[in-house]
Amino acid sequence: MWGLSFKPNTDDMREAPALVLIDKLVTRGAEIYAYDPVAMDEAQRRIGDKITYVDNPYDALKNADALFLVTEWKEFRVLNYPNMDSMKNKVIFDGRNIYDPEEVRGKGFSYYSIGRK
């Protein structure tokens, strides 16, 4: 999971969509590795050890079934595809609609853009 805060450039976790997603996914047996450039300490305070916190976004993708993009941080805008080769399944759920569906699919990913037609 990339992005834990409610919005970029803050550690604000109030009403953060990541909290709802984490609860639902963990309840269904998911193991979540997450990265946020600012909100890691606040997330750990609120969530505790339900998830694993990593030091960079691509560490969250090692052997991952999917990437959930939750917060639209600037550093997530451009994907480094070679660093994504360690994913077990190439699936992206883009909750902020920041990626070009044709480009991502052209790189071999299944791509789900949440809320976009």
Question: Tell me, what amino acid is at 63?
Answer: N
Give the per-residue pLDDT at 48. 95
Condensed to tens digits (0 to 9), the pLDDT of residues 13-50 reads 999 999 999 999 999 999 999 999 999 999 999 999 99
* C-alpha span between 18 and 43 (Å, rounded): 9
Q: Are 69 and 95 in contact (CB under 8 A)?
A: yes
Question: What residue segments make up the domains of the chain, in order of their start?
Answer: 17-113
**Single pTM value for the model:** 0.94
Which has the closest alpha carbon to 39: 4, 70, 67? 4
Condensed to tens digits (0 to 9), the pLDDT of residues 40-96 reads 999 999 999 999 999 999 999 999 999 999 999 999 999 999 999 999 999 999 999
Helix (H) or strand (E) holding 92: strand 91-94
Give the per-residue pLDDT at 117. 63
Q: How far is CA 78 from the centre of its chain?
A: 14
Q: Read off φ and ψ for residue 51, nearest 5 degrees.
A: -130, 170
* Domain 17-113, CATH class in plain words: alpha beta
